[in-house]
Structures are given as structure tokens and as C-alpha cells.
Amino acid sequence: MIKSFFLKNLDKHASKWVVLAIDIIVVMLNFLLAYVIRFGISGNFLETNILSQLPIILVFSLTSFIIIGSYKGIIRQAGMKDAYNLFIAVTMLLLMSSLLVFGSRKWFLFSESYNIPLSIIDMHYLLNIITLVTSRLIFKYCYYFIKHKVGENHRIMIFGAGNSGITTLSVLANDDNRAIKVVGFLENRPGKIGKTINGIKVYNAKNINEKFISKNDIDEIIISDQSISKKDLFAISDSFLKLGLKIKIVPSYEDWNNGELNISQIKPIEIEDLLERPSIDIQNESVVKEIKDKIILITGAAGSIGSEIVRQLTKYDYKKLVLVDQSESSLYDLQQELISKGVSNFEVIIGDVSNYSRMELIFYKYTPNMVFHAAAYKHVPLMESYPSEAVQVNVLGTHNLANLSDKYDVNKFVFISTDKAVNPTNVMGATKRVAEMYIQCLQKRSNTKFITTRFGNVLGSNGSVIPLFKKQIEKGGPITVTHKDITRYFMTIPEASKLVVEAGTMGKGGEIFIFDMGKSVKIFDLAKKMIHLSGLNYPEDIDIKITGLRSGEKLYEELLANTENTMPTYHKKIMISKNKGDLPYVFLKDRIDDLCTMDLLNHDNLIVSKIKEIVPEYISKNSVFENIDKKKKKYKYKELIMIDDNFQNV
């Protein structure tokens, strides 16, 4: 309380005018000191014209400080720029004083009382440079001395003594909300251990133990090493967490604000930071031309992927964004976020993609050039219980938007699919596969370029495993995992959304783009990492309970079907899926049209049977619909391929 009161009032009263007044007083005292040095301490100089010279020095110094603005800098953040401004202001004062002297001596423009000895002017100049710069440093260090000594103080260490670590030190020193004492740097590289940076010692990270932590009263570690691998990051974080320390991390250089690190960007380490997968490098040059002056419709705009696609698109020179979602609360939150960021030229619309009339009104009013279709039901067990709802949104919704895109001459339609559409074992994945098939059928006769993007799980998305694990840990456990060997592919929301936008840019129509998800992650290992990340131990503090595979759930997800292979693109992380052989487009389109027009109420078995006819590789697992597979007739695509000439009659 005392510290907060003191610092608050120090900030309040240490205005630029107080700084200016102090600078003027220092300059005036330096002028007197120059005379003392020149004529001695006896005071004989008082018989000179010093009393008439002081007012003119005051005017000159006031003028130079105001013109240069050297008094406007924040004292507690004084640096080289402030020192430079003071140097320029003092030099201007020197020039004005010199002109006054020459005007008095040679040109007789001024009173002889202004004839200041040149030695006084020179000494005054040097004294001003020394004392004004020194005063800034004194005030700065007094501020931080009081800040660190009065009240409670956070004692931290920075892992990484490179450029990022030094920048982090500077940012922490200027933090007004917390009194932070950087006890030292930590390093694994021998070349820097034992040295000092800005007076702060670099310690060997391997020597940090409980005794060291207790002796130095360390609260937290900030990891600021930009070259550290995910594997080493986890090992280091795990060792520090076991010592009872809080762990924070500095983001990568490319995520800094305009190349500058902000204190708000230093955040507690998350599981996303520890996944052993290199982040994806995004190439966005080609997107600029594609997005420029376009009207873009995004469905599911308030969801995890949809909202991030919106954020990515706001960086470009679009004409208008049309944001559609049926969740009014989430859409309102997105609207307020965009308004707070100063984003303009966007419309938010409440609407259900399965309502054709509502969607057509939107297409008619806004005539979009590009559609990103992210609206979908995605929860596997829930959709297994409600297949009619899965068809309503995932199939009929896509059916509606694809048909409207064709009708209103949309240039590109980008569909966000899932790895669960590959050899599906559940209703959700199967309905997404049906949607993929439909837009491929429509591509055969449409001028619209229909593009599919397919990727795995997204870290931190609504309903994903990581938020669930966090809640379970907060409640004291146990963490529930369906199978000890279950694995999943993961990607961050920004990575997935950027790749969707870029794939939409490169698409020519009819492609299924596959994203390189890296290595699949074992969910059981992910759960253990999250327990350690929370500063707890498995199984002593938090246990992991195996609950058994859920309805329709796979042990391993796939990104490619057995009948598919891939072709590379210019982006090494984006590939094109190529299906072997032709799909029976006429047959499929007819069957999908029938599925979309049938009575979906209370006909779950019939719905799933029709889906299985459309998607022969759909084999239910851990599901009530397994009995349908035993009776299902095997449809062979090669018997259903239609001649292209007859397709025009469809």
C-alpha cells in the first residue's frame, strides 16, 4: 500500500513542467559554479555583471529546452535518446550564449554587461552536459531503488542471455505495475556463464537447485531464449516447475508488436508452447492480391477457426467482411473485439446455414466474391447421438452455401473440413466427408472454384481436449483419457487459420488441401505434460483415468484416405490430395440431394444408412450404428462411373 501510494504520487507530480523547472535551476547553478571555478570561491566574481547575465541565461536555457523538448521524456525510462536531446539543447544554449558574447564584443549590439568570458561559457557547457545527464540517471535509479525497496518485490531470473533476454530485462525494468528485481540470467551455453550483463550475473542453469532458489528468494523464471527447441523447453520448464517456480515465456520475435516486446506479451507458459512440433512458416504475399477489394463471407465466424480467419483477413485490404453465425453471444463478442481494434467495413449477421432462404437473402444483399465456410457441428459423441442435426448443419448447410455460391457467381468457396472425414468411423466425420464430396460434384459444372482444406485438432478450440484437461486439473483431477494409446494431430488456431486463407488463395478449384500437422501427439503424454505444467506431479497429485473409447472415436486419426495420394504446392506445409480414379459424381450428387431433402426427424438409422451408401468407407466404431455395417451392401465406385456426356442432363 505504501509503495503503491508513493509511486502513484511520484508519477502524478513528476510532470514535464517539474522536470523543466529542475533543468533550468541546474543550468543556473552551473553558471554560478563556472564563475566560482574561474574566479575562485572568494566571491570576487560578484563584482562582475553576473546578476545581469543570469536572466538572459535563464531565457536562453528555457528557449533551448522548449524547442528541443528534452524535458518531455519519462525520467524513469531515460535512455540514450534522452541524453542526446539534452546534448542538443545544451549545445543550442552554448550557441546562443556565444552569439550574445560576439554581439557584445565585436558588433556592439548588446550591453557590455552581457560580455561573458568565453572560459565561463565553455565550463558552463561542460557542466551542463555532465550534471543534466547525471541528474536523469540519479532520478531514474532513485525511482527504481524506492520501487524495489518499499513494499513487496518480485524476484525473477531470465533464461537466455541473448538479445531477447536483454530486451526482456529492459521491459521488466519499465514495468509500472510490479516491482521486479532481476536476480540473474540463466544460460546453458558455457561462453556466457559467469559474465555480467548490465551488472547482472549470468548463472549456469544446471546449477539452479532448491538451495539456490531459497537463498535468492526466486519467485519465477522467464524463458527468453529464441533458439530453444520444444524438447529442451519442456525439460527446462519441467525442472523449474519441480522447484516450485512460476514459468513465463517470451513470444518469438515475429509475434512482437512492430518489433518491440510489450510486458503484456510475457505470459505463463502453455501446453501449446511445449508441443514438439516446429511452428509453421506462413507465406502471405499471394494473399494480398486475392483479398484486395473483395467482399468475403465467413460462416461460423464466431467459432474458434472462423473468428481467427476473420482476424487474419482484417490485416488485408478487403472491401467488406460479412460474418455469419447462429451463436449471438459469441458473435457479439467478436463484433466488440473488432470495434475495439478499429476494424471497419464488416457486418455481423445472425443466421443458420441450414436455412436456405435466410442464406439467400445474405447472398442477394452482399453478393460475396469469396466464401469461407467454417460453420459445423464437430463434437463426435454428441453427433453420434444426433445424426439428424449433423446432417442438418454439416451436409445441408454446406449444400445450401455451395449452391448459392454457384448461383451468385462466387469466385471461390473454401470449405473447412477435418481429418475425421478420412475413413470415417463416426457420424460427424462421415457428414463432413459427404460435404467434401458434394462440393467436388458441384465443381464439375460450376464456375465457382470449390476448395476443401483438411486438418486435425486445433489447440485451445472450443470443446477441445486442452481446455477440458485444464478444468479437470483445477478441480484436483483426475484427468480423463479415453485410451492410453490414443493419438491426435494438433495445430494452433492462428496456424490453421492462416493456412486456410493461403490454401484458399492458391486453390484453382476441386482440390482437397492437406496441412502438414507434424507428428501425432499421444494424448496420455499430453495429459502428463499439463499436470507438470501446473506445478503438480503425476500420479501423486493428479491421476489420469482411462475411460474407454467414446462412441465413434478412433485411436488414430488420418489425413489421407487409402485411395488418396498427395501432390506438393509452393508451400511446403500445404499438399493437395489426389483421389485415384473418378468419383461417380452424378450418383453421388443425386444421393446427397436426397439426403438433404429427406425428413430428418426420428429416422437416425435411415439417415446413417444413406450416409454409408454415399461414403462406403464409413465403418462405425464403438457405435449403435455398427449393426448397419453388417447388412450394408458394398457399392463399388467403378460400377457407378457415369459418362461425362450424360452429366449435362443432371
Q: How far apart are CA 430 and CA 437, in angstroms?
A: 10
Helix (H) or strand (E) holding 336: helix 328-340
Residue 417 C-alpha cell reads as 473440413
* Cβ contact 64:86 at 8 Å: no
Residue 140 C-alpha cell reads as 531514474
Q: Alpha-carbon dihedral of residues 58, 61, 63, 65, nearest 10 degrees?
A: -140
Contacts of the segment 11-19: beta carbons below 8 A, 24+ positions apart: 11/176, 14/75, 16/71, 16/72, 17/71, 19/71, 19/73, 19/75
Question: What residue type is assigned to position 272 of the chain?
Answer: E
CA 99 to chain centre: 56
Residue the block writes with cell 504520487: 9
* Cβ contact 216:234 at 8 Å: no
Q: Which of 613, 605, 559, 570 is nearest to 588 (CA)?
A: 613
- Dmax over CA atoms of the chain, in Å, equals 119
Bridge partners for 491 per DSSP:
458
Rounded to 10 deg, the angle between the 585-597 and 398-407 helix axes is 120
Active site residue 638: no
Residues comprising the chain, all counted: 650
Question: Which listed residue (147, 294, 378, 420) is catalytic?
Answer: 420
DSSP-assigned letter for residue 268 = E
Looking from the CA of 565 toward its CB, the CA atoms found within 13 Å total: 3
Q: Which of 563, 578, 590 is nearest to 646 (CA)?
A: 590
Active site residues: 420
